[in-house]
Structure 1
Amino acid sequence: MDEADEAIRKQSDEAILVIFTLDSGLYGVDVSQVREITNMRDTTPIPNTSYYVDGVTNLRGQVTTVTDLRRKFGLPEKDKDDSSRMIVVEPDGVPVGMVVDSVSEVLRMPTKEIEAIPEILAESAAGTDIDSEYIKGVGKLNGGELLILLDLEKVVAAA
């Protein structure tokens, strides 16, 4: 975590996170960075874009780039289904849709349960194929499951 994240973390006793799934993993992003969560929409492919860009969609009159997080993170392809969702974020004031397998809940997590990625796991990004630069930290859930907290600015930077 960078110094700004650490300062915010110390000011607050809990983080409020949108929890979603990709493959068999649980992921979270800060709810304050999420504009909306929608059902999947049709996208129009754009030639010569990055392999993980699904295309663009019209979201309430605004053209929005849609990124497939499975592709971006090197996870196996999966057809979109009724549980697939698009999480719309605006880290730099420009909306970007992130395709995820499902959104499960909004969760309040004590910040003491969130840790930086241990050095030994940073290379393999907490046991996933995800580049560690995309990960802010790892949270521990009550059932012992791990929750990977994503750094949205870095995840959508090239979308």
Structure 2
Amino acid sequence: MTSIQWPAGYVPGFSDNFCSNEVIVANLSIDKVWALLVTPAEWSGYYANSAHPRFYEERGPMLALGDRFYFETFGFPVEAEVVEYIAPVAGQAGRVAWHGWAGEGAERLNVHHAWIVEELSANRLRILTQETQQGEPAKALAATVPNPMINGHQEWLDGLVSAARA
């Protein structure tokens, strides 16, 4: 199976917080999932922890490599830039990742949030999302039990699957 490509400074195990969530489901269209995933305006329709998305420089409505965008999640106003974008095609997984940041100084949070959507044998679809975080807010999130990132991203995955099936 395909794995996340981590940039320097964001490799799991060397970051302040890391979460990984994955689902494998049968009979789900990769095209429907991909369209919902790469359109931030759709996120709040299936994931309650996402709000107020907008693009900069008259870009959008779908993510593309190099796009700058904004959204709010986990109580953070997140500025983000798409650093990886490969749409899925037959025999190749879809990949999208963004670098996000919020806050300043000691309260700055930096994240690398990556997604893989890939078709598996027997008409199954794998959706993987992983995120690494750096900064004092990331350390606080990592110490919280249960980890809100793990739970929040699972809600995102479950909502994405439900929306794609609808």
After TM superposition, the score normalised by the length of structure 1 is 0.25
Structure with more helix by fraction? 2
Which of structures 1 and 2 has the larger relative contact order (alpha carbons within 8 angstroms, sep 6+)? 2
After TM superposition, the score normalised by the length of structure 2 is 0.24
